[in-house]
Structure 1
Amino acid sequence: MDETIAVLASTVARKGKEGLTPTAMPNVGLYKVSQCIGLLPETYRPVVSLILQGEKQLLVGNEVLTYRAGHTFTAALDLPVLGKIIQASAERPYLAIRLVLDPDIVSDVTLDMPNGASDADGKGFGVHPADRDLLDAWSRMLRLIDRPDEVRIMAPLLEREIVYRLLRGPQGAVLRQVGAADPKILPIRTAMAVIGESYTSPFKVEEIAQSVGMSCSAFHRRFKAATGMAPLQYQKTLRLYEARRLLLTEPTNASSAAFSVGYQSVSQFSREYSRMFGTPPMREIRAVRLD
């Protein structure tokens, strides 16, 4: 397996540019980072990544995930994450392959498999080692980079195979939650979409639970199990991640960032920002502008 990973890493190192490089396969991207850095907060859509070299750390809710070469990270839901590359250099960059998951493909493949019920109270993310069959499917997918005439026919087939291999392995319980029509997961996905679309506005957990046809206690339990966060924490994380993105990439100040993401109190925003990121917003702004 180490040899297969080395071959895949060599391909990504040669074909990938710094950051995320799209490929001729619509859902497949190559990821390359040549230094240890903190990454901007982002919301992961349903995705699977195979790590080929280096090491990365993700904060999802209160859980820290660390993964390295040979590991697969799977996210089944729209998860706000804070990541950093903790092992990378110009000589040995962090390398990974990313596949954006198509819910229709996951649902279709799941229906053809036995024991396809998802865990309603399971996590919507996870890290697991990749097995030989999964690595083999990834190898054949990456060969299509040099065979553009085969992409239209072979890429969809290999995408289905990768999903199939993931469903058969320890990632299966996570991946089954991607299926858009799953009646056990659909209420949580719907609630996440509602919160995500209006995260700057206050809401009551009871009202969200009622809108998706669940009791408040069951909704709270399933939401936290899937995302690693309670519903209000999920909203706060979305707010603070967007505020940090604004502070690091836009010509703005702490007050403007706070109000733009829904805070009514700048002092409360500063406290919660400092608690999450370990530094007050104004200090972070000054550090960025000095750079």
Structure 2
Amino acid sequence: MDDKMAELASNVACLGQEGLTSTSIANIGLLKVSRCSDLPPQVHRPVVSLIVQGEKQLTIGPHVLTYRAGHTFTASLDLPMLAKITEADSERPYLAISLAIDTSIVVELTSRMPGSANALPERGFSVDLAGQDLLDTYRRVLNLVGRPEEVPVMAPLLERELVYRLLKGPQGAALKRLATRHRRIARIHDALDLIRQNYTEPFSVEAVANAVGMSASAFHRRFKGATGMTPLQYHKTLRLYEARRLLLTGTITASAAAFAVGYQSVSQFMREYRRLFDTSPMRDAKAQE
């Protein structure tokens, strides 16, 4: 596996620019970071990320996950998370390949695979070791990136193979949540959509639970089991992530950012922002001046 990881790392280093690089294959992205650093907060859509060099730490609610070369991170839910590159330098940068998951491929392949009715894990994210067959497929995907004339024909085939290999491996447990028609799981997905679309509005667990046809207690328990955080924590995190994006990418005051994301109390916003990011919103705003 060491030789395969070295080949993948070499290819990503050659193909990727510093930061996130799009490729000729629509759902494949490359990440290259040459120093240990905190990445901007983001909400991950369903994705599988394979580290080929370096180490990364993810914080999802109260959960802290650390993974390194040869491991994947799989998310089958829209998850707000903080990421930190914990092993990287100019000689050996952090390198990773991301695959944005096409749910339709997961649904179609899962319907053809035996054992698809097995019990699914409650949590919608995981860190797992990548198998040999999966690494071989990633190798061929990267080789294809360098042959753009072949991409229209070969990319759909290799993307299906990647998803198939993921479904066959330990990553499949989390991914199969995307294909299930189980009402309990579908309701959590509906709740995530509802919270995300209305994150600037006042939040009520009871209102969201009622909207997706669940009792408040069952909704709270199952939401936390799937996302790693309570519904209120998820709602608050969406607000604070957007506030930080506004502060770091525009000319906006801390109080204006607070009101823009739905806070009625600037002092409460200040407290919660500092608690999450370990810095003040004024400092982030001043950094952009």
After TM superposition, is the score higher than 0.5?
yes
TM (norm. structure 2) is 0.95
The equivalent residue for 2:123 is 123
The equivalent residue for 1:246 is 246
CA contact (8 A) 1:47 1:76 kept: yes
CA distance in 1 between partners of 2:173 and 2:74 (Å): 10
- What SS is found at the alignment partner of 1:35? coil
TM (norm. structure 1) is 0.94
CA distance in 2 between partners of 1:45 and 1:255 (Å): 29
Say if 2:235 is the partner of 1:235.
Answer: yes
CA distance in 2 between partners of 1:106 and 1:3 (Å): 30
Equivalent positions of 1:1-291 (< 5 A) are: 1-117=1-117, 119=119, 122-179=122-179, 181-286=181-286, 288-289=287-288
CA distance in 2 between partners of 1:121 and 1:86 (Å): 28
Amino acid at match of 2:202: P
CA distance in 2 between partners of 1:151 and 1:220 (Å): 44
How many residue pairs align between the two structures?
Answer: 289
Change in CA separation of 1:289 and 1:255 when aligned onto 2, cut-off 3 Å: same
Amino acid at match of 2:86: I
CA contact (8 A) 1:121 1:222 kept: no
Change in CA separation of 1:120 and 1:70 when aligned onto 2, cut-off 3 Å: closer
Which of 93-102 and 81-90 deviates more? Answer: 81-90
Could you list the runs of 5+ residues in structure 2 that have no partner in the other structure? none
Amino acid at match of 1:48: V
Q: Which runs of 4+ in 1 moved over 3 A?
A: 117-121, 180-184, 283-286
CA distance in 2 between partners of 1:148 and 1:57 (Å): 33
Amino acid at match of 1:266: V
CA contact (8 A) 1:223 1:231 kept: yes
The Cα shift of 1:234 comes to: 0.4
Change in CA separation of 1:14 and 1:260 when aligned onto 2, cut-off 3 Å: same
Amino acid at match of 2:210: Q
Amino acid at match of 1:237: T
CA distance in 1 between partners of 2:193 and 2:55 (Å): 31
- What SS is found at the alignment partner of 2:38? coil
Which of 109-118 and 160-169 deviates more? Answer: 109-118
The Cα shift of 1:150 comes to: 2.4
Amino acid at match of 1:84: K
The Cα shift of 1:53 comes to: 0.5
Post-superposition CA distance 1:192-224 (Å, at most 9, x none): 011001101013212211221222222111111
- What SS is found at the alignment partner of 2:37? coil
Change in CA separation of 1:39 and 1:103 when aligned onto 2, cut-off 3 Å: same
Post-superposition CA distance 1:206-261 (Å, at most 9, x none): 22112212222221111111111111110000011111111222111111111111
Could you list the runs of 5+ residues in structure 1 that have no partner in the other structure? none
CA contact (8 A) 2:250 2:288 kept: no
CA distance in 2 between partners of 1:138 and 1:169 (Å): 14
CA contact (8 A) 1:120 1:185 kept: no
> Structure 1 vs Structure 2: percent identity of aligned residues?
60
Change in CA separation of 1:132 and 1:110 when aligned onto 2, cut-off 3 Å: same
CA distance in 2 between partners of 1:182 and 1:52 (Å): 35
